[in-house]
Amino acid sequence: MKSRPRGAALALPLIALLALLVPMTALLAPLTPARAHADENKTKPSVTLSTTEAAKGADVTVTGQGWRPGALLMLLVCGQSDPEHGVIGGTNSCANADGQAVTTDAKGSFSKVLSAAPPPKPCPCVVHVATVQGEQALVDSELTITGHPVAPLPSEAGEGKLAVLAEPRLDGSGSLLTWFGAPPARTLVFTVGNLGAAPVKDPVFELGTAHGVFAPQWEERQWKGTIAPGGKAEIKLAFELSPGAHGDYQISLRYAKKLLATEPWGVDRPWGVTLFWILLCLVVPAAVFRIGMAVVDRLRPRTPRRPGEPGPTGPARHRGVRLPEVT
């Protein structure tokens, strides 16, 4: 029986190698993380109330459009707030026990019945709708609660009461987990002074993260403490980016809708993820090639030996060398 040509013996592992490398090119596409920011031209989220005035405990239907599909939202009735200044004092001004959660549909819409529970702070009041996780978005819609006390907004709501006195900095560094795609985290440290005539208690700052040319995505951060008139305080606000984020970012700080400071941040690429995929593309094809060669060697036909011819392990078969006869 004729032996199979050596080229035919290599055909099977080469075909297996090519069949594996084709899908590998598709696996390399996720190495670049998806952009964390949506297109600026998308529809802005909005909220509509079934009534703008309700009695204590009455039901108000909250309808929203233009939100992120599948987003989890929290609905709260908050006092000491208005759409221009937001929720002064953070969620401490809201009726948290009577809040509602809702998930938007595939079109980014929702409808939920919310009780007009009296908040712990006097009106003006709003229905505060905000995302719980992911890309931050919030909308405040005015709501008048019949019989609930009304008081002017505190003086701390005015712009220009807090000012940054020293250059902010980003504290923290990467770790081995960050090198393999864990969320990069830092702490924004800055010193603010109270330029107003009244103390500022538990101020609520907004941290914005912007990637490239995209607009900042804002997230509320409340600092516990009181800054007396003419006083100052060092504030530390921790935050993190999405997993696998890298590139040029800009961190912004805002208070009472006024921009206080910006700080650039160059985030290193998670090279550990890239190294993992490179090693995977080298090791897996090599292993498949060795397995294919072993299978081919086992399945290929063997040439029958002639009588008196030494076996494959004999010295005469070693590398095809004929040994001289001994006389």
Residue 281 gets which letter from DSSP? Answer: H
Q: What is the pLDDT of residues 89-122, one digit of tens each?
A: 777 889 999 999 999 999 999 999 999 999 999 9
CA-angle at 205, arms to 204 and 207, nearest 5°: 145
Question: Does residue 295 surpass a pLDDT of 70?
Answer: yes
For the sheet containing 59-65, what is the strand order? Answer: 46-49, 59-65, 110-115
Q: How does the average pLDDT of the chain come out, rounded?
A: 78
| pLDDT for the residue numbered 1 | 42
Q: Residue 17 above 80 pLDDT?
A: no
Per-residue pLDDT, 111: 96
Instruction: Report yes or no: 215 and 40 within 8 Å, Cβ to Cβ.
Output: yes
Residues 147-179 have pLDDT tens digits of: 999 999 876 444 447 888 888 999 988 777 777
User: Which residues pair with residue 234 across a beta bridge?
Assistant: 191
Q: What pLDDT, in 10s, does the model give residues 214-261?
A: 888 888 888 988 887 778 889 999 988 888 788 889 899 998 888 888
Q: What is the pLDDT of residue 125?
A: 95
CB-CB contact of 157 with 149 (8 Å):
no
Per-residue pLDDT at 134: 65
Q: Is the pLDDT of residue 79 over 90?
A: yes
Residue holding tokens 């931050």?
A: 136
Q: 3-state class of 278 per DSSP?
A: helix
Question: Average pLDDT of 271-299?
Answer: 82
Task: Please give the pLDDT value at position 322.
Answer: 57
| CA distances from residue 272 to 175, 176, 245, 249, 278 in whole angstroms, order as listed | 11, 9, 13, 21, 10
Residue 20 has pLDDT above 50, yes or no: no
Write down the residue that tokens 């987003």 correspond to.
71
Residue 28 in this model has a pLDDT that exceeds 80: no
pLDDT at residue 25 in the model? 39
Spatial CB neighbours of 268, under 8 Å, sequence gap ≥ 6: 174, 246
β-pairing, 247-255 vs 258-267, is antiparallel
Residue 306: what pLDDT? 67
